[in-house]
Structure 1
Amino acid sequence: MLLFCAFFVLWTLFTFEHGILSLQSDETDKKMFLLDFINLMALAITYMLQLLWLSSGTESFMREVRKTKHISVLMKCRYADGPIRRTAKNMLKLIEETPPDFSVYGMWSMDAQLIIDVFNLITNFILTIIQFTFL
């Protein structure tokens, strides 16, 4: 996962840098640079969609865990004793003591916020590239 996110950020920055270079090149190389830029953008969009799919998948899993926690609380309230209450109690204890967390080597958590953080990082790098290119 770490490699995927790093590759996505680097690929997007490379695509943007390639686009800037294609705008600054002479007319003979513009067609070649334009085709390369379109290919690079297609791959960057593919990686972006994969990141969006991954973030939404982890977020839907966490939503299901919250639903399971709510259902086990309801089952504990409804049944005074028996196997259903014990199962609900065990599930609730398991969820509260060790909540599921998708993390990438402990550096960041996989959730819906990840895609916003990655876009923030890419935007900062793109602005830095623009400043170094034109200033």
Structure 2
Amino acid sequence: MEIIQIVGLGIITTVLVLIIREQKPVFAFLLSIFVGVMIFLFLIGKISSIIRVLEHMALKTEINMIFLKTILKIIGIAYIAEFGAQVVRDAGQEAIAGKIELAGKILIMVMAIPIITVIVETVLKLLPT
């Protein structure tokens, strides 16, 4: 049960951060970031498995790989923006966290434009002229 390990690590780190924060707030913040990165690195294998399954399904259904790569990039932007915003929020910088989230949303919209264009063109081809 990997989730138990992850939650256990998170709880232990939280207790340590709360204890250390009174004496060394910078060290507590760095510990928090370090554990967040460690959890992410622990999950990289799972993430790559998901990507391989999605690529296999896309090949089977003959979906253009550009669409799959774009969707994976969009998902990556969302997760990275969320992680970055949480780290900045942990440091007490709510305004900067909001800007990171806004930037993530805008980048997602930019990445989605080609997919939206193809969908609109497909719908227009289906409509009688």
TM, length-normalised to structure 1: 0.35
Higher relative contact order (CA 8 A, sep 6+): 1
Select the structure of larger CA radius of gyration: 1
Q: Which has the higher helix share?
A: 2
Q: TM-score, normalized by length of structure 2?
A: 0.36
